[in-house]
Amino acid sequence: MHVAAAEDETQKRTYIVHMDNSSKPAAFDEHFNWYESSLKAVSESANMFYTCNHAIHGFATRSSKKEAELLKRQPGVLSVIVVNMKFLRLEKLRKKPERILVEEKNLYYYLNCFSFA
């Protein structure tokens, strides 16, 4: 049981990190830099693979459970939600890369985001 628990702590999963736009420090010119700094404060190895600044402000990352828990304590972080991401058909994704379908607990959120990190 102890080995399984340790593996679960280090296993990478996909998380959506919802940020409070009004909390962005003035020192950061771009949201991307703020998101990156928040993520790097808890993990040197975790990377953002998607950023969003329209429907919500935040980013998607592959992180461990421990890193996600640490992210929740970062200034400006509203929530950290583990999700299973399902991209639309590849052809549609190529035509409209700013659209992504996110499934979380059988609820579907359609996010119109503007850039891949």
How confident is the model at residue 56, as a pLDDT? 81
How confident is the model at residue 89, as a pLDDT? 44
Per DSSP, helices labelled H in 45-89 are 65-72
How confident is the model at residue 54, as a pLDDT? 74
DSSP class of residue 21 equals: G
Whether the pLDDT of residue 52 is over 90: the answer is no
Q: For 2-84, give the CATH class.
A: alpha beta
**Which of the pair, 33 or 107, is modelled with greater confidence?**
33
Ranges of each domain in the chain: 2-84
How confident is the model at residue 115, as a pLDDT? 43
pLDDT in tens, 9-38: 678 888 889 999 999 999 999 999 999 999
Please provide residue 37's backbone torsions phi and psi, each rounded to the nearest 5 degrees. -65, -40
pLDDT in tens, 75-96: 999 999 887 655 444 445 555 5
How confident is the model at residue 27, as a pLDDT? 95
Question: Is 48 within 8 Å of 36 (Cβ atoms)?
Answer: yes
Whether the pLDDT of residue 42 is over 50: the answer is yes
**Which of the pair, 34 or 6, is modelled with greater confidence?**
34
Query: Cα(22)–Cα(110) distance, rounded to whole angstroms?
Result: 23
